[in-house]
């Protein structure tokens, strides 16, 4: 798509090279709302919260914001009181550059944990960011927030509220430390819709739960995860009807689900995107636990990498998931090829068909527990040699 396809009325965006990432690549981004936006956020559930998470939670409390400043290369996590001061100072720099209040600035960071930000780099970087602001800057910003991501992740939705067109554009970064319960590390969503901050937060929470909280790369929840959404109101739509609200919610969910899939597809070292779909669980909680346990099992994930329909590992994972289950009620499919019926393998012919499907890049692993009427699904990827290489050498 062209860069203008990612314009959102009321917002200007920029990116720059601050010097926080290696190799002189863009590593800072700035999003500015021309007027005050409605703002909502969803933040990591990890008890260790990075400084920018603590600060942005505070600044977003009133449901309003003017800017988001984000950096990659340094998470500003586990940096104590000094790190919090660094985040505050970054917000102040941005506020000064834009002539706004610093509590109108949200801050986000991603990268290595436990190192202080080089604040000497921040002043020139923020200056460059403010100078570079443009309606067409979003694709560059999506690149700037990448760490071990291999491609930028952007998604768009075009909707109408009472006949008035509006747009939702989201971008995210993921790759590692990805696990259900606020798992994106960073995602920013912009819209020109006119909506109250409270309504937007309700929709954002629902949509995040259905999307980002349903993906896993390695079962590790980050200290920095956040989804921030700003709505400028520039679409000047009338107050949302129930129908408009539903359309908006579906549109937002489609954008976040799209980004979720991109994050798993780009999981560190991943070669395959697998939807683990659990059906007919005893309870909704059981469905979620079963899907997450299978989706996080190292043995299942290595079997996926090996294109091996090793259903014994799936049954073993279900058996330790602490859910209601009876081995002889379980049916398992790879896409539409059934490989287990009543807890027993259906033999080599079916497994060979399943292997063919597993050679592809995307497929579903469908588990029917036969215990009740509850379904859930989680997106996962395979566990590969490349994951080990990336994570054994991350800081060196």
Give me the least distance between CB of 363 and a copy of itself, in Å please: 16
Give 3-state DSSP helix, strand, coil % of the chain, rounded to 5.
40, 30, 35
Task: Classify residue 176 by its DSSP letter.
Answer: S
Per-residue binding string, a copy of itself, 85-124, x by CB under 8 A, is ---------------------------xxxx---------
Q: Total number of residues binding a copy of itself (CB under 8 A)?
A: 61
Contact 27, 144 (CB under 8 A): yes
158, 238, 328, 356: residue in contact with a copy of itself (rule CB under 8 A): 328
Question: Which residues inside 60-89 make contact with a copy of itself, applying CB under 8 A?
Answer: 75, 77-80
Instruction: Using the minimum distance from each CB to a copy of itself, give the nearer residue, 255 or 315.
Output: 315
Selected from 37, 46, 191, 232, the binder of a copy of itself by CB under 8 A is: 46
Q: Is residue 315 a contact residue for a copy of itself (CB under 8 A)?
A: yes
Cβ pair 384, 305 in contact under 8 A: yes
* Nearest-approach distance from CB 218 to a copy of itself, in angstroms: 4
- Residue 290 φ/ψ, nearest 5 degrees: -60, -45
Q: How far is the CB of 8 from a copy of itself (least distance, A)?
A: 33
Cβ atoms of 334 and 309 within 8 Å: the answer is: yes
* Shortest separation between residue 324's beta carbon and a copy of itself, angstroms: 9
128 sits near a copy of itself (criterion: CB under 8 A): no
Distance, in Å, from the CA atom of 187 to the CA atom of 201, rounded to the nearest integer, reads: 14
Which positions from 227 to 266 touch a copy of itself by CB under 8 A, shown as an x/- string?
Answer: ----------------------------------------
* 250-259 CB burial, b ≥16 within 10 A, e <16: ebbbbbbbbb
- As given in the structure block, the two tokens for residue 49 are 């919260």
Q: Rounded to the nearest 10 degrees, how much is the dihedral formed by the CA atoms of 286, 288, 293, 294?
A: 110
Tell which residue, 68, 81, 60, has the closest CA to residue 110: 68
184 is catalytic: yes
Q: Fill in the DSSP letter of residue 37.
A: E
Our finding on whether 360 is near a copy of itself (CB under 8 A) is: no
Shortest spacing between CB 387 and a copy of itself, in angstroms: 7
Annotated active-site residue in 44, 90, 184, 221? 184
By C-beta, is 23 or 80 nearer to a copy of itself? Answer: 80
Site string for a copy of itself, 361-390 (x = CB under 8 A): ----------------------xxx-xxx-
Residue 359 in the binding site for a copy of itself (CB under 8 A): no
Determine, following the binding rule CB under 8 A, whether residue 151 of this chain makes contact with a copy of itself.
Answer: no
| Binding of a copy of itself by 305 (CB under 8 A) | yes
Distance CA 53, CA 222 (A): 11
Q: Which of 25, 128, 210, 316 binds a copy of itself (CB under 8 A)?
A: 316
Q: How far is CA 86 from CA 21, 51, 74, 129, 140, in A?
A: 17, 8, 12, 18, 24
Q: How many residues does the chain have?
A: 396
Catalytic residues: 184
């Amino acid at each position: 798509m062209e860069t203008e396809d990612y314009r959102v009325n009321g917002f200007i965006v920029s990116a720059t090279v601050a010097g926080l990432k290696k190799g002189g690549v863009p590593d800072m981004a700035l999003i500015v709302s021309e007027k005050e936006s409605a703002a909502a956020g969803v933040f990591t559930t990890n008890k260790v919260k990075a400084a920018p998470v603590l600060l942005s939670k505070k600044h977003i409390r009133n449901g309003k914001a003017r800017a988001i400043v984000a950096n990659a290369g340094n998470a500003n996590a586990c940096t104590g009181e000094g790190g919090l001061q660094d985040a505050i100072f970054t917000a102040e720099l941005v506020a000064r550059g834009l002539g706004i209040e610093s509590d109108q600035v949200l801050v986000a960071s991603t990268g290595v944990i436990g190192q202080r930000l080089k604040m000497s780099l921040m002043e020139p970087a923020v200056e460059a960011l403010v100078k570079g602001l443009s309606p067409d800057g979003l694709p560059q910003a999506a690149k700037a927030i990448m760490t071990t991501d291999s491609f930028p992740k952007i998604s768009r939705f075009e909707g109408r509220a009472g006949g008035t067109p509006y747009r939702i554009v989201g971008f995210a970064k993921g790759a590692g430390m990805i696990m259900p319960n606020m798992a994106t590390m960073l995602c920013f969503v912009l819209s020109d819709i006119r909506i109250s901050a409270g309504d937007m937060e309700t929709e954002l929470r629902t949509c995040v739960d259905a999307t980002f909280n349903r993906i896993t790369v390695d079962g590790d929840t980050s200290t920095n995860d956040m989804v921030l959404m700003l709505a400028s109101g520039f679409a000047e739509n009338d107050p949302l009807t129930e129908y408009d609200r539903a359309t908006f919610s579906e549109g937002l969910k489609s954008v976040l689900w799209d980004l979720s899939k991109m994050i798993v597809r780009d999981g560190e070292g991943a070669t395959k995107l697998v939807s683990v779909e659990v059906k007919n669980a005893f309870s909704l909680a059981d469905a979620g636990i079963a899907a997450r346990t299978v989706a996080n099992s190292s043995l299942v994930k290595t079997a996926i990498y090996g294109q091996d329909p090793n259903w014994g590992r799936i049954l073993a994972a279900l058996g330790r998931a602490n859910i209601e289950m009876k081995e002889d009620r379980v049916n398992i499919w790879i896409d539409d090829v059934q490989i287990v019926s009543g807890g027993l393998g259906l033999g080599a012919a079916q497994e060979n068909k399943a292997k063919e499907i597993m050679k592809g890049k995307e497929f579903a692993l469908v588990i029917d527990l036969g215990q009740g009427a509850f379904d859930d699904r989680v997106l996962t990827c395979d566990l590969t040699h490349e994951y080990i290489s990336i994570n054994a050498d991350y800081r060196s």
